Amino acid sequence: MLTQIKTLAAEFAPRLIEIRRHLHSHPELSGQEYQTAAYVAGVLSSCGLQVREAVGKTGVVGELKRGECPPQWLAIRTDMDALPITEQTGLDFSSRQTGVMHACGHDVHTTVGLGTAMVLASLGEQFAGAVRFLFQPAEEIAQGAGWMVADGVMQSVAAILSLHVFPSIPAGTIGIRYGALTAAADDLELTIIGESGHGARPHEAIDAIWIASQVITSLQQAISRTQNPLRPVVLTIGKISGGRAPNVIADKVEMVGTVRSLHPETHAQLPAWIEQIVASVCQSYGARYELHYRRGVPSVQNDPLLTQLLESAAKDAWGPDQVQVLLEPSLGAEDFALFLEHAPGTMFRLGVGYPDRPNHPLHHPQFEVDERAIVTGVVTLAYTACQYWQQLLAHPETRRSRESRDSET
Ligand code: NI
């Protein structure tokens, strides 16, 4: 089976590179993936999958069901959107859309999703199982996963797999991670309201700029002194504005920021904890405040059993040296976490780095990928999907225990 998957992936490789380059040169921003979605739907239909378009706004779902299997799905999720960045790679298949670029590798993700569908569809009778491919829009604005979930794509899904490219791992290698892979990411908007006055007479005013600086300092100090250092919290105020003139005390300061955390318990207590610090500083100096705390996506927590399955499939496919077990999570965020609220799953990092030259990070205008990684991603996902169904069909009791566990939680 593995040999056949590898042979098929190698046969499809030139076509997959063509697909990836097409997607790369036609990037679309979050929520506007119309051409991408139509293109994806076309490829999926040509492989004989059942295709639904406009799922979760611009998302696409392709379903492949072969043989006798229980009424449930293994989902494979890839995202399709690009970023508002002007490409500077100089590649001959560079973005044709000024100011829009696939700088986060979602063109590769989409291609790997399509390649996996092509390979599994070409296995014929050898593959028994049901795979639902989710091509998700708007990951960069952390909205698309929620749109797709609201449209019911997680119904009857028993497990879900996904991937993200990673330039600091060389192409041909994948990174897996047990437990937390990415952070919960929340946003805050905070306005400090003081009272204006003459710059020379601070005692007659309430200086919103100075109080804002106290609030920021107190928050950073409180993180280091009152949060468990083994459960990290990062708070970044990314934008601040206030004041009118050098000799006028500002009556209002507005700031916006992002709050990252890994541990679900920490995440749960953050809004109240932050408000308490803001309130106590403002109260000390007679200011008022308005705080809008918005919960964003939770942390991606990889399921141990599925991660184990992925690890052993990837090691079979590529050898143990090509599979890195990642010791550290990232404080980046991923809306894949929203699918995980409905089924266990695992997301891996697909190495796309060139071994012999420096690699630019994700979201960089010169970000490039070593396209050999596409076959690595396709084989890893296709073989993991086969192993998943083989084990499930051979040991249906695994499924029962997972179902009973789900009903308990
Ligand atoms: Ni991304």
283 and 316 housed in the same domain: no
**Tokens, residue 68:** 């006798």
282 and 327 housed in the same domain: no
Position 69 confidence tier, pLDDT thresholds 50, 70, 90: confident
User: Can 139 be counted among the known catalytic residues?
Assistant: yes
Domain end call among 267, 297, 327: 297
266 and 364 housed in the same domain: no
In sequence order, the β-bridge partners of residue 193 are 252, 288
Q: Exactly one of 81, 140, 207, 335 is catalytic; which is it?
A: 81
Average pLDDT score over residue span 206-232: 97
Task: Note if the pTM is more than 0.85.
Answer: yes
Nearest to 377 by CA among 113, 17, 103: 113
28 and 168 housed in the same domain: yes
pLDDT of res. 397: 65
CATH number at residue 283: 3.30.70.360
* Dihedral class, residue 174 (left if φ above 0, else alpha if ψ from -120 to 50, else beta): beta
pLDDT of res. 395: 79
If DSSP codes are grouped into helix, strand and coil, which group holds residue 261? strand
**Tokens, residue 164:** 């993200």
What is the residue whose two structure tokens read 């994806």? 40
CA of 356 to the centre of ligand 1 (A): 24
Q: Exactly one of 28, 107, 139, 370 is catalytic; which is it?
A: 139
287 and 327 housed in the same domain: no
The per-residue pLDDT for range 339-353, each reduced to its tens digit, is 999 999 999 999 999
Residue 400 has pLDDT above 50, yes or no: no
Quick one: DSSP state of residue 251?
A: S
Position 398 confidence tier, pLDDT thresholds 50, 70, 90: low
101 and 248 housed in the same domain: no
CA of 139 to the centre of ligand 1 (A): 7
> Taking the mean position of all CA atoms in its chain, how far away is CA 190?
26
The per-residue pLDDT for range 151-187, each reduced to its tens digit, is 999 999 999 999 999 999 999 999 999 999 999 999 9
What is the residue whose two structure tokens read 């030259």? 357
CB 144 within 8 A of CB 335: yes
Domain end call among 268, 297, 326: 297
CA of 104 to the centre of ligand 1 (A): 5
CB 155 within 8 A of CB 341: no
d(CA 322, CA 348): 13
CA of 362 to the centre of ligand 1 (A): 8
Residue 403 has pLDDT above 70, yes or no: no
**Tokens, residue 342:** 């409905």
CB 161 within 8 A of CB 385: yes
User: Can 81 be counted among the known catalytic residues?
Assistant: yes
Parent domain of 390: 2-182+300-408
CATH number at residue 352: 3.40.630.10
CA of 66 to the centre of ligand 1 (A): 31
The per-residue pLDDT for range 183-202, each reduced to its tens digit, is 999 999 999 999 999 999 99
CA of 44 to the centre of ligand 1 (A): 22
Residue 407 has pLDDT above 60, yes or no: no
163 and 202 housed in the same domain: no
d(CA 88, CA 386): 39
What is the residue whose two structure tokens read 């293109």? 39
CB 308 within 8 A of CB 158: no
The per-residue pLDDT for range 243-291, each reduced to its tens digit, is 999 999 999 999 999 999 999 999 999 999 999 999 999 999 999 999 9
Q: What are phi and psi of 68, to 5 degrees?
A: -85, 120
284 and 315 housed in the same domain: no
Residue 90 has pLDDT above 70, yes or no: yes
268 and 352 housed in the same domain: no
Average pLDDT score over residue span 365-391: 97
pLDDT of res. 394: 86
Domain end call among 272, 297, 322: 297
CA of 280 to the centre of ligand 1 (A): 38
232 and 358 housed in the same domain: no
The beta-strand segments (E) located in 103-232 are 129-136, 157-170, 174-176, 179-180, 184-193, 197-198
CB 343 within 8 A of CB 154: yes
193 and 249 housed in the same domain: yes
The structural domain count of the chain equals 2
289 and 171 housed in the same domain: no
d(CA 285, CA 24): 53
Residue 386: other Cβ atoms inside 10 A = 23
Residues with Cβ within 8 Å of 7's Cβ and at least 6 positions away in sequence, in order, are none
